[in-house]
Amino acid sequence: MRTFSEFQIIGHVGKVHMVGQTLRITISAEYGKKDEEGRFVSKPYWNEVTIFKTSRYDWIKKNISAGDLVIAMGTMRQTNYDKDGQTIYTVTLAADEFDLLAKKANAAA
């Protein structure tokens, strides 16, 4: 039996930047709720996805900007390393699929 761990995020882009040989994109997922007065309170959670495919770098850099609505899907990998005698655990969200759903709305329009 094949086993796997995967993720899907639909959210707005915060930042696109290179880290070493990978492209990293922060995406907010919104988990807002209503407060005691019935008003919606925003509660964004930021996730950083990693693009390892160099063939996607140029397209993302040319077509994706902060505020754009995107979808990212891929695999999750938990890793750990030792730092000053302590084990540090991290999770890498490796995006195999990444696409633009909508450009950021223009506030002046």
- pLDDT tens, residue by residue, 29-52: 988 888 889 898 888 899 999 999
- What tens digit of pLDDT does each residue of 8-28 get? 999 999 999 999 999 999 999
Q: What's the pLDDT band for 107 if we cut at 50, 70, 90?
A: low
pTM of the model: 0.82
Rama region for 82: left / alpha / beta (φ>0; ψ in -120 to 50; rest): beta
Per the model's pLDDT, the better-predicted residue between 38 and 109 turns out to be 38
Domain boundaries, the chain: 6-102
Q: The domain at 6-102 falls in which architecture?
A: Beta Barrel (2.40)
How wide is the angle at C-alpha 107 spanned by C-alphas 103 and 108, nearest 5°?
120
